[in-house]
């Protein structure tokens, strides 16, 4: 059985051939997946350059959306700055996995470029689930899938993401311990890797960012996907320019990801 269009109920572990047996077993057990070398060295260089260009435009223009703090520079909607960053939304080695996990009604929910400065005094994101809406039985649902592309090398001390493996299936009333340092969470694993690595996770996985104790900034692009009938996060709705370009492209994937289509029943198949 294929995924249902809304993702509330489906046979666990039932994916098509774009997901290998190893990937689907890992994903179902852990709720996340790493795609090593998702970006070729040439593509990574272009993406790093596009992301740096976006940061240069954003940093001195306070009218551009995002967050500027001592623990994070969050450049909101990097897809608006450069088509290289836009096209990562449907990157051929990552998006097919997202589509298969989430379903044919996949749509972009938000996208960010995070720069964690060196030696942060604390984390920018404590332990949390991305999704927890009422009326959804989350242990059997896939409401959001979030993809991270590492633009810098990330080790255990560089302020990367940490997750509790398998927590997407934990009971709704499961109580996690509160910890003062994110690394104190029992059972957690850290998402490390070389620049060019991508990882994705079910938005129900319990996750956080650890402090950046290193001397280097951590740079990561984040693309979050949900179902077509969900709302994009306010402020992340694509600009008229991006919508017009998507319509002109005639590409059904690009249009649907940017929210062009029928509110109910929209599907890529
Ligand atoms: O920066 C990170 O690795 C974590 C970000 C996060 O918690 C989120 O995007 O929900």
Structural domains in the chain, CATH included, are 21-257 (2.60.120.620)
Judged against a pLDDT cut of 60, whether residue 6 lies above it is answered with: no
Token representation of residue 24: 């689907």
Strand 218-227 and strand 207-209: pairing? unpaired
Two structure tokens written together for 258:
């940017």
Atom of ligand 1 nearest to the CA of 162: 3
Is residue 207 within 6 Å of ligand 1 at its C-beta? yes
* Atom nearest to 148 CA in ligand 1: 3
pLDDT at 2: 34
Q: Using an 8 Å Cβ cutoff, are 147 and 203 in contact?
A: no
Buried b (16+ CB within 10 A) or exposed e, 84-108: bbbbbbbbeebbebbbbbbbbbbbb
Instruction: Give the CA count within 13 Å in the CB-facing half-sphere of 136.
Output: 17
Which pLDDT tens digit goes with each residue over 55-96? 999 999 999 999 999 999 999 999 999 999 999 999 999 999
**184 pLDDT higher than 60:** yes
**161-163 and 73-76: which strand pairing?**
unpaired
pLDDT of residue 3: 36
The answer to whether residue 149 scores a pLDDT higher than 60 is yes
> Which of 257, 140, 115 is closest to 202 using CA atoms?
140
Dihedral angle at the C-alpha atoms of 239, 49, 65, 257, nearest 10 degrees? 40
Report the percentage of the chain scoring pLDDT > 90.
91
Asked whether residue 110 carries a pLDDT value surpassing 50, the answer given is yes
Nearest to 218 by CA among 127, 126, 115: 115
Between the CA of 188 and the centroid of ligand 1 the distance, in Å, is: 14
What is the distance between the terminal CA atoms of the chain, rounded to a whole angstrom?
A: 15
Atom of ligand 1 nearest to the CA of 72: 1
pLDDT tens for 189-247 read: 999 999 999 999 999 999 999 999 999 999 999 999 999 999 999 999 999 999 999 99
Q: Evaluate if pTM is beyond 0.85.
A: yes
Burial class (CB in 10 A: 0-12, 13-18, 19+), 260: middle
Q: How far is the CA of 149 from the centre of ligand 1 (A)?
A: 12
- Is residue 8 scored above 80 in pLDDT? no
Considering only CA atoms, which of 145, 171, 139, 170 is closest in space to residue 12?
139
């Amino acid at each position: 059985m294929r995924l249902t269009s809304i993702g509330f109920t489906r046979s666990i572990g039932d994916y098509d051939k774009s997901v290998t047996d190893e990937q689907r077993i890992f994903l179902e057990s852990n709720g996340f997946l790493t795609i090593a070398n998702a970006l070729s060295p040439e593509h990574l260089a272009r993406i790093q350059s596009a992301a740096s260009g976006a940061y240069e435009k954003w940093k001195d223009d306070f009218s551009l959306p995002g967050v500027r703090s001592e623990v994070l520079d969050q450049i909101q909607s990097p897809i608006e700055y450069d088509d290289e960053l836009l096209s990562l939304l449907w990157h051929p080695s990552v998006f097919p996995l997202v589509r298969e996990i989430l379903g044919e009604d996949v749509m972009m929910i938000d996208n960010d470029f995070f720069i964690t400065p060196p030696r942060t005094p604390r984390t920018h994101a404590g332990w949390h689930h991305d999704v927890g809406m009422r009326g959804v039985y989350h242990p059997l649902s896939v409401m959001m899938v979030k993809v991270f592309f590492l633009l810098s090398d990330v080790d255990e001390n560089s302020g990367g993401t940490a997750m509790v493996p398998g927590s997407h299936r934990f009971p709704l009333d499961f109580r996690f311990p509160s910890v003062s340092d994110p690394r104190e969470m029992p059972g957690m694993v850290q998402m490390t890797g070389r620049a060019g690595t991508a990882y994705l996770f079910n938005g129900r996985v319990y996750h956080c960012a650890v402090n950046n104790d290193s001397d280097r900034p951590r740079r990561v692009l984040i693309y979050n996907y949900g179902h077509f009938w969900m709302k994009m996060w306010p402020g992340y709705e694509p600009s008229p320019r991006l919508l017009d370009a998507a319509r002109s492209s005639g590409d059904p994937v690009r249009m649907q990801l940017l929210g062009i289509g029928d509110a109910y029943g929209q599907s890529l198949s």
